[in-house]
Structure 1
């Protein structure tokens, strides 16, 4: 079985969990309890991992054509199938809590997957193929029919109830495979509700009405957010994706909705991204701020402060679970074959154990951005957070670490990590008036200036004529593009200009894509948007705008980005939808709107 291209998937969200549905009408990924919970549909990672397909009989053959789009300002997906017999629409959503509006959205999501089939013309025979496989495909459940016609799935810790406001569903051998006809003007609604096996029963919702209410919930939420910069349509779409990646109960933003989609087909760099990274934190917060989502910015900051807790001598973890869990230890799912045979499939991410010196800089950048909301004098907990992180940087900045790309090999002196250490000290010095007697400004200034001098001396490789990824190494790394973005150097500094040119020349590819390093076969979407920002900061706004439009054009037909884009095939690679890719787009659009913006 050939895998569905990653770019063929649409993303559904209820701000509790995420689902992926392909152009072929199959829901191939759903972790219903929360983003990082076990899947009940996992065909994304194994042909036998479970799925739920609704599509015309003979879909994919000659004469079958698909059009799809999101309802405006939502993650409610409408797929129209045109067949020789007629046309039919399938609208998919993860249900909002009934009546939820504006910032209530996602707080009490009922964990219900809605699918509404609507006849548009003619008479079309539809096929239903329902094969739940809970616990990452480990369980083949029994399906039993209730007196009201609903199908009940009881399997281990999971209970599911599938209802259909139309044909009676018949189960056999742990699955449903049947057909029904739909004619012009007819609607048939399905709802699949999840609950824990030993908790309250799954919710019962009327599909058609709940679907309409979910559209209104999304649109009411987006209606209170206003963005006035360039490229408003793609920025609003990316902001909606970030909302969809938000775990509303805590305010954390998950890095992606999936695990183990490969950076290289057949490779082993397959990691679980269903967690919240502190590294992404300041970038995420700024993107939400730019997209005029201040309430979400504040909730994200509150989550981070609570997750970090009291600062000690141990490094702050780079990532946390969505409710602030620290231990997200990694293990392999041996029963999953992996996307296109790309093994291993991971659950959990051991990067939480790494020393990554850039993390405090991201957190203190976020504090600086929210300083006016946080007050002229910080409360005791916030003071301890800022002072504790600053002292950690002052004590450890000279050590090697694992860097922004989280390699699983030796620690090194990464340029980007040292620069973010400078950012941490610089922001701490600026925040000092709000910190009281604990602020040791004179010493902090000295450390800040020492870090800067070290980066300028050790980070530039004379033989390469550019800032490189690791002190003393000639190897280019697109992370050097971050220097102007965080304000360490102006983009028109001669050495920085030379670095930008070298990255564009040696790591760039067709379509405006930029690789992280030379051996990488795919462009990294975030780095590609960093190049846009650098060009805009260097005064090349027209060229930056053209590059922005090229890179933005690599999104799929729904405006979604994965982590990377193959330079030759343009195939999406890596986990999807990827928060950092959409964050990069928002930042670059705003930089083109106002190059002087902080």
Structure 2
């Protein structure tokens, strides 16, 4: 749950932004049945605060400007394949595909909002939530996160608070149905404002796996660690017996084709273009991922148990493929976009440092 404090000459307000969890989800069940509702609560904690509310939904990366209409307790926005329902404690003025309102809150007063999404033609449009339900679900979600934290306190040592927080961040980046953990929940945020290294990081990189699994072990997240490795093993299975390269990354549902496209109609964050979805790094050959996945298996599997036969067969294929192909050219850990080459032979190390195009890497930060 993200908490932001605003301070102005007239007063102070605290904003809470959680993605609501399923009712009474606790511990390892956290996220199993999330209804896909974002809550927003702003509370004036001292003095007075002017609050402006704007809803400007732009589905499909801004290609659609939905039709908006007032409903009892909020707004409905319909466009493309989605229907959005906003639960709001005050009426908003509709201007085309945008809605606005301005109000002032005194100390102790709050505003509660909820935004839900449903597929048009599927389930019925949800009714807006009343304020008491929003507050109840917000509290329930907070208790769910606290329960998850309480059972992941096995680490004792330096930076204990930071380690615990890191475990929560990894849990928040996890797609619960498959166990996949994304590198980041964003796309096209630049490494430098105005630059073009604006990559889509909403995928799982095999190279990250051993580091992530190590972090999960440190944070005492054993079940999450097993689920993550299970996802990787299933996503990568059947590739090697077909003689193809082991993919370096996967979608959260084990998707393999992550073809990249540029959204030319968007200006990017602070003018940083291009805006991209997908990541063509999935097409690259990076031979280190064989070792990364083997290391992930080493870090994950209990020492006193055998691997199941399908996983065992796959890992044997991995080791044999790595032994056969380790000296072939590839794109390297820097994910340079261009022809395969040798990066780490003695004769090319100095050359690669001076000539590798630093603006073309596309892996996670």
Query: Fold conserved (TM > 0.5)?
Result: yes
| Contact map agreement 1:193 1:202 (CA 8 A) in 2 | no
Q: 1:405 aligned to 334, 350, 354, which one?
A: 334
Quote the Cα distance in structure 2 between the aligned partners of 1:411 and 1:517: 14
Q: How much does 1:295 deviate?
A: 0.6
The structural deviation recorded for 1:304 is: 0.7
CA-CA distance at 1:199 after TM superposition: 2.1
Deviations 1:204-243 (A, max 9, x none): 5522111111111111111111221211122222222111
- 1:18-417 matches, within 5 Å, as 76-146=1-71, 148-164=72-88, 166-201=89-124, 205=129, 206-226=133-153, 227-310=155-238, 311-312=240-241, 313-372=243-302, 375-415=304-344
C-alpha offsets along residues 248-287 of structure 1, whole Å, 9 cap, x if unaligned? 1111110111112223333322211101111111111111
Q: Give per-residue Cα distances to partners, 1:153-173, cap 9 Å, x unaligned.
A: 111011100011x22223221
Cα distance in 2 for residues equivalent to 1:202 and 1:243: 29
SS of equivalent to 1:372: coil
CA–CA separation in structure 1 for the residues paired with 2:68 and 2:237: 45
Aligned length: 357
Contact 1:279 1:318 in 2 (8 A): yes
Can you list the C-alpha shifts for 1:344-399, whole angstroms capped at 9, x where unaligned? Answer: 211111111111101110111111122326x5432220111111111211221110
Contact 2:51 2:102 in 1 (8 A): yes
- 1:472 matched to 2:348? The reply is yes
**Equivalent pair of 2:343/2:349 in contact (CA under 8 Å):** no
1:167/1:180 contact within 8 Å kept = no
Q: Distance in 1 between matches of 2:16 and 2:194?
A: 33
RMSD between superposed Cα atoms in Å? 2.4
d(CA) in 2 for partners of 1:347 and 1:82? 36
Counterpart contact for 1:102–1:224, Cα < 8 Å: yes
Q: Spell out, residue by residue over 1:112-134, the C-alpha distance to the aligned partner (whole angstroms, 9 max, x if none).
A: 11111212223322111211111
1:410 CA drift (Å): 2.3
Counterparts of 2:5 and 2:259, CA distance in 1? 42
Q: Deviations over 1:51-94 (max 9, x none)?
A: xxxxxxxxxxxxxxxxxxxxxxxxx1222222233222221111
Any gaps of 5 or more consecutive residues in structure 1? 1-75, 416-457, 460-470, 478-515, 522-562, 564-573, 581-598
TM, length-normalised to structure 2? 0.91
TM-score, normalised on structure 1?
0.57
**Which range moved further: 356-365 or 233-242?**
233-242
1:368 and 1:89 mapped to 2: Cα distance? Answer: 45
